[in-house]
Structure 1
Amino acid sequence: MGSSSDSPERVDGLTGTVVRGVFGKGSKSEREAVWLEADGRRLVLRRKAGPSFADDALDKYVGKRVKCDGFVVGYTLLAERIETLR
């Protein structure tokens, strides 16, 4: 059974580095964003209970390695939990 990139994919313990920069450069949806570089993927990082854009609560994770639980929908990680790794 195939899955659509728009179907939520549950992830537990996804680890990567949080980066802030221009996301979608050269596209109509180009914007400043915070994303997770993990497993060769670049996923826009959102908190499940946070705003869709400009979530200042994510600033503390920029430049850090983290472990996340949540759902990947398309190119977005909707995080239920974000833990900083040492």
Structure 2
Amino acid sequence: MRRSIARCSPTQARARAFSLGKLAILELNVGDASQGLIHGERALSAEAPLKSRRAKDDLAEIRRALGRRADVTGAAESRSRLTQVLKSA
């Protein structure tokens, strides 16, 4: 997953955002939750519009995973930001 993200060119912002979202979900659920938070924030701030159903589903999954990781500094703030993004999408 990390290799895929690293290989994305600047014109592949949407693919990078999807990969970052999947990596965030994976890290938050079974890996390093702090890294998962970072990847989730990067996915959210990617230069690509995340308006597809699949993108919204990934963002919602990141939000749920963050809800289970209240022990991670910044998780509540990121979760709140995701809530706002999902409401406006």
TM-score > 0.5, shorter chain as reference: no
Q: Which structure's residues are more often strand, by fraction? A: 1
TM-score range, shorter chain: under 0.3
Higher RCO structure, 1 or 2 (CA under 8 Å, sep 6+): 1
Q: Which structure's residues are more often helix, by fraction? A: 2
TM-score between the two structures when normalised by the length of structure 1: 0.25
TM-score between the two structures when normalised by the length of structure 2: 0.25
